[in-house]
Amino acid sequence: MSNVRVGIVGPTGYAGMELVRLVVGHPRMRLVYLAGSGARTGALDAHLPHLHVLADAMPLVEALDVEKAANVCDLVFVALPSGESGRVAWQIWQAGRQHGVKVIDLSGDLRLPADAYEAWYGKAAVPQEAISEACYGLPERHRESIRGASLVANPGCYATACALAVLPLGDLLADVEGPIVFDAKSGVTGAGRAPKEHLHLGELANDAYPYRVGQHQHTPEIEQALGGRVRVLLTTQLLPVPRGILVCAYIAIPPDAAPMVYDRYASFCEDEPFVRLLVYGEMPHIKAVNGTNECHLAVRWDDRSRLLQVFTAIDNLGKGAAGQAVQNANLMFGWPEDEGLRLVPLWM
Ligand SMILES: NC(=O)C1=CN([C@@H]2O[C@H](COP(=O)(O)OP(=O)(O)OC[C@H]3O[C@@H](n4cnc5c(N)ncnc54)[C@H](OP(=O)(O)O)[C@@H]3O)[C@@H](O)[C@H]2O)C=CC1
Ligand SMILES: CC(=O)N[C@@H](CCC(=O)OP(=O)(O)O)C(=O)O
């Protein structure tokens, strides 16, 4: 059954190590190639002792060789810092194009048009050809295109949680008045593993605060994921927890649509394997989705303010990164969408 040969570029990073866990547990994937910058090579469990249990199932970590990645793998996940990741994904895709290698990039490099990317990320964009080739990998919106894609831009973590809060509105989105406001909070693994002063325990413990306000790079990605029809105000905040994203969206739907809005969300979620609508009145918890590919969603109409509140919770490393990447791979290979993703939450 384990017939598809898989490579992971960036396995020593937070998203990459979660990919290792999911790929090793996937019944149709065989991990054959691990590569990074060359700074940490050899046995992966020498750098990540918790993976010792998987040592026999894992190749050694090598310095990245694009040609090798393209030749020994059928599928490559690329999870490098933005600015580097999309370039590497594009190179591997080009090198393996003739024998149909499939590539999923977890960074923001292939998600936006070049001018928007450069404006919001402040970095040079990859060639337009790469951006045009890449399919935006939000299954709840682009399932059919993902099935036919060989290069996928995996969505951002905040962008996933925010878009999923709104997409169930469907054509009601056209009647929303004013911008949609997202109050979003993330655990610290969202910032990656490279040490930074504001991420130290001493700085972050007992604290929580907004950051990159008005400048967060997922703002245009959310607008794009919602079809470019609404303005978005996104406030991102850092929480002193390792993982998980919690979003509250405030949406001015027409008040006369309020009585049937829960049913609209219910009918959307009924067909979605990973978006779970909570019973009216229940609220999502990040602990209930951490370690999984699920998005938990709650809807509440506030009659006093005449606003719809939609709450979503995802694991930034799960549905926000590695889990969604595996979901996309399942679609690209024509497998059941939840293959290898029937995961029990970590809770503690
Ligand atoms: N963390 C998250 O929650 C999410 C992350 N993402 C995206 O996924 C990508 C990876 O994020 P994350 O895992 O958090 O990042 P980390 O900083 O934790 O890890 C980055 C990885 O990239 C490797 N690396 C760095 N530079 C190079 C290079 N020049 N060539 C080859 N390998 C290199 C590092 O390996 P080495 O040890 O060899 O230096 C490390 O394994 C980013 O683009 C991020 O935006 C997207 C959604 C959510
Ligand atoms: C807590 C934290 O810092 N989260 C990151 C999440 C975004 C990310 O991972 O980067 P992409 O733009 O490539 O998706 C951030 O806010 O930048």
- Among 225, 64, 63, 201, CA closest to 142: 225
Spatial distance between the Cα atoms of 172 and 236, rounded to a whole number of angstroms: 26
CB neighbour list of residue 125: distance below 8 Å, 6 or more residues apart: 109, 114, 115, 117, 118, 131
Ligand at minimal distance from the CA of 15 is 1
DSSP label at residue 273: S
Q: How many CB atoms lie within 10 A of CB 182?
A: 28
- Interface confidence (ipTM) of the complex: 0.97
* Residue ranges of domains in the chain, CATH in brackets: 4-133 (3.40.50.720), 158-315 (3.30.360.10)
Who's near 136: CB < 8 A, 6+ residues apart? 111, 142, 152, 153, 155, 224, 225
CB 290 less than 6 A from any atom of ligand 2: no
Task: Please confirm, yes or no, whether 157 is among the known catalytic residues.
Answer: yes
If pLDDT is split at 50, 70 and 90, which confidence band does 35 have?
very high
Distance, in Å, from the CA atom of 323 to the CA atom of 317, rounded to the nearest integer, reads 7
Q: What is the mean pLDDT of the chain?
A: 97
Tell me the whole-structure pTM to 2 decimals.
0.98
Q: Distance between CA atoms of 102 and 340, rounded to whole angstroms?
A: 18
Please pick, among 157, 248, 269, 295, the residue that the annotation labels catalytic.
Answer: 157
Q: Which of 18, 19, 78, 106 is the best mutation target for the ligand 1 pocket, counting ligand atoms within 8 Å of the beta carbon and taking the most?
A: 106
Radius of gyration of the chain (CA): 20
155 pLDDT above the threshold of 90: yes
- The confidence score (pLDDT) of residue 56 equals 86
The minimum-distance atom of ligand 1 relative to the CA of 64 is: 31
For 188-234, write each residue's pLDDT tens digit. 999 999 999 999 999 999 999 999 999 999 999 999 999 998 999 99
Distances in Å between the alpha carbon of 219 and those of 112, 228, 335? Answer: 11, 11, 32
| pLDDT number for residue 240 | 97
